[in-house]
Structure 1
Amino acid sequence: MTDVSEGKSPLGFWGSAPDRHSAAEDAQGIAAGSMLAALGVTMLASAELLIGGTAGLGFLARYSTGLSFGLVFFTLNLPFYWLAYHRLGLAFTVKTIAAVALTSLLTELLPDFVSFGTLHPVAAALFGGLLIGTGMLALFRHRASLGGFGILALYLQDRFGWRAGLVQLALDLVVLALSFLLATPYVIVCSIVAAAMLNLTLAINHRTDRYIVR
């Protein structure tokens, strides 16, 4: 019988309380969020689009130097783990490292299993941005993120009440501004559409006053 007064379950790893995710639920949420984000990144990469955040910096490095997106993305996130640990706790940091590592790995593997014969840049922007935003939403709701600006955005939301999606949108626009050095105006416009779709998904759906499960 579940101890309701303490919010505990006899199922241990598999059990959960109304206000807290179980370890199994967190694992599923992190895996699902990472898979959605990796598929969205694959769509954007197939259309040679960009995005904001550390993922956008990873795309810029990939297009300009040919480096692996997954490796660059994972490496760029390393400095943000300190902020995550000191401001958002050990559990958040461990789950975020797991999400970033899994997403980085999947973005390297997916092109060998998924390809797009015809993919219009606008479609890639809309669906790719939505997939990444939905993946990040799943991670946020399990107290994890894709690192980088997502960590900073979550910290500012927790500290000052600023909407995480809007904060990240502002930071993403800075990264997209750098894309003028490499991309054509059409690619940049489509990339802005992708960033807007991603961040609107977060801004509309991620509210700590509505979703209180930890």
Structure 2
Amino acid sequence: MALPRFSAADWRRLQDDVQGLVTGTLFVALGIFLMKCAGLVPGGIVGVALLLHYATGLDLGAVLFLVNLPFYLLAWTRMGRGFTLRTAVAVSLLSLLTWWLPHALTLQQIDGALAAVLGGLLCGAGILIIFRHGASTGGLNILVLRLQDRFGWPAGKTQMAMDALIVLGGAWTVGDARKLALSILAVVALNLALVYNHRPGRYRPA
């Protein structure tokens, strides 16, 4: 059986996607790290994973990987094989980086507001990069992209509404009103990046 042949354009596309997924997941992982250090709970599947991490003590990277598994079926049936495979790679890499960063980086102190804004913006920028390369960070991102493609619902606004529900649902885990407010600030910072930058026709894979 003949092996598939890759043209020069295919190799350039592969290199472009690899650097994009690595860069995007590193941004998201660093944003998660900052918010975790401040004890915040952002929205999305990351917020769900952090809630489970706080409640069970399980490794955050492992939890992040496991909670994404059910969404791959939706991605496969609704978004296609290529999107699903790239998303699986992105989620696996994000889980690995989320596990590795606390071992590679020590943060003695960070202001909660800075963690919320910088962490949220880093996650937002990383998600945009990953979107640009035909993938997502899994979980609700898959659902949000599907709703945008199917019904025209703006990705950023839809994500923000879901994130608000997750943060409010996890308010008891956050522990105090200030951390709850900062968690909401992180959600706003993340989703404003999506609202203003992720629109139909933009950031599509070449």
AA aligned to 2:96 is: L
* Structure with greater proportional helix content: 2
**How far apart are 1:136 and its partner, in Å?**
0.3
Is residue 169 of structure 2 the alignment partner of residue 182 of structure 1?
no
Offset from partner CA, 1:25-56 (integer Å, 9 cap, x none): 11111111111000000111111111111110
Q: How many residues align?
A: 200
Which residue pairs with 1:6 in the alignment? none
Which residue pairs with 1:119 in the alignment? 110
1:142 pairs with one of 133, 154, 168: 133
Which residue pairs with 1:105 in the alignment? 96
Contact 2:119/2:186, CA 8 A, preserved across alignment: yes
Percent sequence identity over matched residues?
A: 43
SS at match of 2:99: helix
Offset from partner CA, 1:115-152 (integer Å, 9 cap, x none): 22220000000000000010000011111001110000
**How far apart are 1:73 and its partner, in Å?**
1.0
**How far apart are 1:10 and its partner, in Å?**
5.0
Is residue 87 of structure 2 the alignment partner of residue 96 of structure 1?
yes
Matches within 5 A, 1:2-81: 11-15=8-12, 22-81=13-72
Q: Which runs of 4+ in 1 moved over 6 A?
A: none
In the alignment, structure 2 segments of 5+ residues that lack a partner are 1-5
RMSD after superposition: 1.4
Q: Report the TM-score when normalising by structure 2.
A: 0.93
Which residue pairs with 2:75 in the alignment? 84
In the alignment, structure 1 segments of 5+ residues that lack a partner are 1-8, 16-21
Decide which moves more: 122-131 or 46-55.
46-55
Is residue 194 of structure 2 the alignment partner of residue 202 of structure 1?
yes
Which residue pairs with 2:147 in the alignment? 156
Partner Cα separation in structure 2 for residue 84 and residue 69 of structure 1: 23
Partner Cα separation in structure 1 for residue 97 and residue 18 of structure 2: 16
